[in-house]
A and B are shown apart, each in its own frame.
Chain A
Amino acid sequence: EPEVTQTPSHQVTQMGQEVILRCVPISNHLYFYWYRQILGQKVEFLVSFYNNEISEKSEIFDDQFSVERPDGSNFTLKIRSTKLEDSAMYFCASKREGARQPQHFGDGTRLSIL
């Protein structure tokens, strides 16, 4: 069964550095998402992306964050000037065309900011 893949599984970065998290969505999916989950807390929506542009974003997704689909298969989340509070699991999700299609998630990247 096709799945969303994310790399790396664990990223350790010094505070203030930039980090890029990578995702390969399911191949026939057209909608892409990033979520984060701080340890012990809820899964939180960050951003949705469709047709090469952001369709919706949360208050968390400020100028520190950006997303890109650099080619036909990858979807990336860039975090600039990382802070300690950016430490979390970051999940990528994708879904097919259709309002009633569910989002399918990858296994996440654990980001640790030192």
Chain B
Amino acid sequence: EDQVTQSPEALRLQEGESSSLNCSYTVSGLRGLFWYRQDPGKGPEFLFTLYSAGEEKEKERLKATLTKKESFLHITAPKPEDSATYLCAVQEQADKVIFGPGTSLSVIP
């Protein structure tokens, strides 16, 4: 069964303390891996798309990387406004996207 898992479930960081979030996936044919940010009561906000192993994307304090089995979202020197749930999603077939359970990130001032 196709599956997307994320770890840790929750992460608490001090402001400025860098860390990484993990997304592991098992799909028969990856068409794309997406990272989204979700704030409470809001919809997922698109961050990055990755398509092939070795690919990297960056945006401000965030950097996403992809291997054949997993993706990492690296957060460098986070700020309190980076606090959110980060969702990984995998596209296997033409339209269907499978979401992971998310990592809830809290950045403490």
Binds A, one of B17-25, B60-68, B94-102: B94-102
B14 adjacent to chain A (CB < 8 Å): no
Chain B, range 34-60, C-beta contacts under 8 Å to A? 34, 36, 41-46, 49, 51
A61 to chain B, nearest CB (A): 11
Per-residue contact bits, chain A 76-96, to B (CB 8 Å; 1 contact, 0 not)? 000000000000000101000
Known A-B contacts A44-B99, A55-B95; the reply to A102 vs B34 at CB < 8 A is: yes
B42 CB to closest chain A CB (Å) equals: 5
Q: Is the CB of B44 within 8 A of A105?
A: yes
A104 CB, nearest partner CB in chain B, Å: 6
A42-B99, A45-B98 known; A102-B87 Cβ under 8 A: no
B79 in contact (CB, < 8 A): no
Q: Choose from B42, B89, B93 the contact partner of A107 (Cβ within 8 Å).
A: B42
- Given the complex, which residues of B lie within 8 Å of A50, measured CB to CB? 95
Q: Is the CB of B97 within 8 A of A99?
A: no
State whether A102 and B99 are in contact (beta carbons under 8 Å apart), knowing that A55-B94, A56-B93, A56-B94 are contacts in the complex.
no
Tell me if B32 counts as interface (CB < 8 A to partner A).
Answer: yes
CA distance A91 to B94 in the complex (A): 19
B74 within 8 A of A: no
Contact A100 B32 (CB under 8 A): yes
Chain A interface residues toward B at CB < 8 A: 4, 31, 33, 35, 41-45, 48, 50, 55-56, 58, 91, 93, 99-100, 102-108
5 closest A-B pairs (Cβ-Cβ)?
A: A105-B43, A48-B95, A43-B99, A107-B43, A105-B44
